[in-house]
Amino acid sequence: MPDAPTDAPKYALEEIERRWLVDLVTVGPLTRLPCRAIDDRYLAGTRLRLRRVEADGQPVHKLCKKYGKRPDGSEPITNLYLTPAEYDALAQLPGHAVRKHRYALAGGALDVYVAPAGLAIFEKEFGSVAEAQAYLPPAFAGVEVTHDPRYTGAALAGLSCSGAEAEQPGSLTTGE
């Protein structure tokens, strides 16, 4: 993949986030927290992520382009909202998928992965790099993995697949 652009591409927003591993025992029960089910599909050979988010039975479909991390930790991204038919068409492309449950917690998000089973990551987004650098994470946050490429969404999607090849097209269609 090419390096991240130095200037944000037109219509891109800056994503500035930090991420930590979490031992779920230290968090306590999650049943009373707001939760969304998220299915991500990282399209093979690209920086594109197809996402289906469901909360309260209402699905939302998006296509995201991530342009690559910059040295300061920020990353330009763009999102497009899709119809179910558009999502289904793009879901036919080869890629790696991952499913997680996202809980609103401590001003951030706790992602609990279905596969790799038991993996939990707390992430927090920020309005500036300075704000991100000054942030003190909650006590339940363990080892920081912000800059560890093994814990990117695309890498975790690759782990959740049974083999090294991309998943077969169509495994994440809406069924609508």
SS (H, E, C) 26-47: HCCCCCCCCEEEEEEEEECCCC
- Are residues 161 and 98 in contact, defined by beta-carbon separation less than 8 angstroms? no
- Whether CATH 3.40.190.10 fits 13-160: no
Tokens, residue 67: 């342009």
- Are residues 76 and 64 in contact, defined by beta-carbon separation less than 8 angstroms? no
Does the pLDDT of residue 1 top 80, yes or no? no
CA distance 59 to 155: 24
pTM listed for this prediction = 0.85
6: pLDDT confidence band, cut at 50, 70 and 90?
low
Mean per-residue pLDDT over the chain, rounded: 88
pLDDT tens per residue across span 64-77: 999 998 888 899 99
pLDDT tens per residue across span 95-118: 999 999 999 999 999 999 998 888
